[in-house]
Structure 1
Amino acid sequence: MATRFPPIFLFLLMAFPALAGTQWQDLEALRKGAIQFAQQQGAAQPGTVTVNAVPLDPRLRLPACQSIDFFIPTGNRLWGNSNLGARCNAPSSWTVYIPLTVSITSEVVFAARPLGTGQKITEADILLKSEDITQFASGVITDPRQALGKTATISVAAGYPLRLDMLRAPYVIQQGQSVKILARGQGFQVNAEGKALTNAAAGQIVSVRSGSGQIIKGTAREGGIVEVPF
């Protein structure tokens, strides 16, 4: 007479391969789990994330695991050639590092023509290309709005990708400019005249010499205004 196993036993066999006689961890399942984790981590990136991982060495013998946590090792990030950690919590305890290649395809902002130091960036100055941004230095610009209206801080050759550290917001206050000091507090407001000692973009802190000779620091605003909170 054939032996019939209860449904719960069959479920356990499917849910926990170790119970079915599988002694070692499924390396292909581990590889696919690492790829899925990396793709989820890259979901916030500005583009399409592609993750590849070569098959793990079949000679690797890891006890079958029921609870695996994937993690990004300290000092690493999922960018280009990377490593992802996989840690078994139960029933055994082991950690393995899985090599990954992560590419992120996105539009990148390039200089359409030579840009000079101090030049304000317009639409005619940029062009977009679809590239793997992991192949560029950190801070490469992927959104034209991050470049338009900004000022180049260095000369940039035509065809070169723009980075955030190459540009700055335009100055709303110039060194030596006469400014209006606007001091505000609860229930009062005081206006005074002064002279800017430094350049500043909107929202930056600027030093100002007041009419009495006092050095004041405040926040630069459009229209030559420096706000000083009290």
Structure 2
Amino acid sequence: MLCRIALLLCLSLTGVYARAQTALDPALIERVRQLAETAARATAPPGTRVVVETGALDPRLRLAPCRQVQPYLPPGMRAWGRSRIGLRCVDGSVRWNVTLPVRVAVIGQVVVAAGPLPAGVNLSQEQLALADTDIAAEAGAVFTDPAQLIGRSLARPVGAAEALRAPDLKSRQWFAAGETVQVRAVGAGFAVSSVAQALGPGFEGQLVRVRFDSGRVASGRAVGERQVELLL
């Protein structure tokens, strides 16, 4: 009986000690915060403010003691919105590698809806306003100038004070099939312009096929009013 009690006490203390390893040192938390902030600022628009909130490790983790933990941004992971920062033990009896959840907010003044807007509405100056918003909270490019949106149509409803993002807008049709378009071919250190006939409608940012006078057919991206860009 005494042996069983001693064993249970030992296991209990081991569990407490292991759980203690999931409590990160404040200095390490600050290094994580600085890493995420630096990475976010590299892609954040000028004039924005970056705020990083760190989460906690999974309490079920049982990490071995480590003398040096190195924070890093995992490959393919972006310090934007809800993300994760890697933590790896580089000096310890057991090398381990885990990730810590973080939330990266990028606060900036962008165009928002002045009130609730239904899908299909053509935007006017009175329906738009500027407000500080977390542009990293959702996917999609934001706008800083209301003039960029006047006359555009909404593809979905937008709530009051909600930031307007590129996916919220209907794609503009720059030209119709059969129209003559200006084609600009862009390569390394050069650009050549020509004219061609559009073989399909040109919707903003989408690929469209064009035929040149020589009969050659190429695909490019509709970038403006009767304008197509070919990337070589």
TM-score under structure 2 normalisation?
0.57
Larger Rg: 1
Q: Percent identity?
A: 24
Deviation at 1:75, TM superposition (A): 6.9
Q: Is this contact kept in 1: 2:110–2:131, CA < 8 A?
A: yes
Matched, 1:128 2:130: yes
Take 1:37 and 1:204, find their aligned partners in 2: how far apart are those partners? 36
Take 2:54 and 2:148, find their aligned partners in 1: how far apart are those partners? 35
Residue identity in the other structure for 1:102: V
Q: Is this contact kept in 2: 1:173–1:196, CA < 8 A?
A: no
- Give the 5 Å matches for 1:135-214: 135=137, 137-144=138-145, 147-148=148-149, 151-152=152-153, 154-157=155-158, 159=160, 160-167=162-169, 170-175=172-177, 178-179=179-180, 194=197, 197-201=200-204, 205-207=207-209
TM-superposition CA deviations, 1:77-129 (whole Å, max 9, x none) = 4344543221132365333433433322222322336366383x554442121
Cα distance 1:123–1:215, how it changes in 2: closer, same or farther (>3 A)? Answer: farther
Matched, 1:33 2:31: yes
Matched, 1:64 2:67: yes
Deviation at 1:140, TM superposition (A): 5.0
Take 1:95 and 1:207, find their aligned partners in 2: how far apart are those partners? 49
Take 2:155 and 2:172, find their aligned partners in 1: how far apart are those partners? 14
Provide structure 2 residue ranges, at least 5 long, that are not aligned to the other structure.
Answer: 1-20, 186-192
Q: Is this contact kept in 1: 2:135–2:142, CA < 8 A?
A: no
Q: Is this contact kept in 1: 2:71–2:87, CA < 8 A?
A: yes
Provide structure 1 residue ranges, at least 5 long, that are not aligned to the other structure.
Answer: 1-23
TM-score under structure 1 normalisation?
0.58
Take 1:152 and 1:33, find their aligned partners in 2: how far apart are those partners? 44
Q: Which residue of 2 aligns with 1:103?
A: 105
Take 1:61 and 1:91, find their aligned partners in 2: how far apart are those partners? 8
- Give the 5 Å matches for 1:43-122: 43-44=41-42, 45-46=44-45, 47-53=48-54, 62-65=65-68, 68-73=69-74, 76-90=77-91, 92=93, 93-112=95-114, 114=117, 117=120, 119=122, 121=123
Take 2:84 and 2:229, find their aligned partners in 1: how far apart are those partners? 48
Number of positions where the alignment pairs a residue of Structure 1 with one of Structure 2: 195
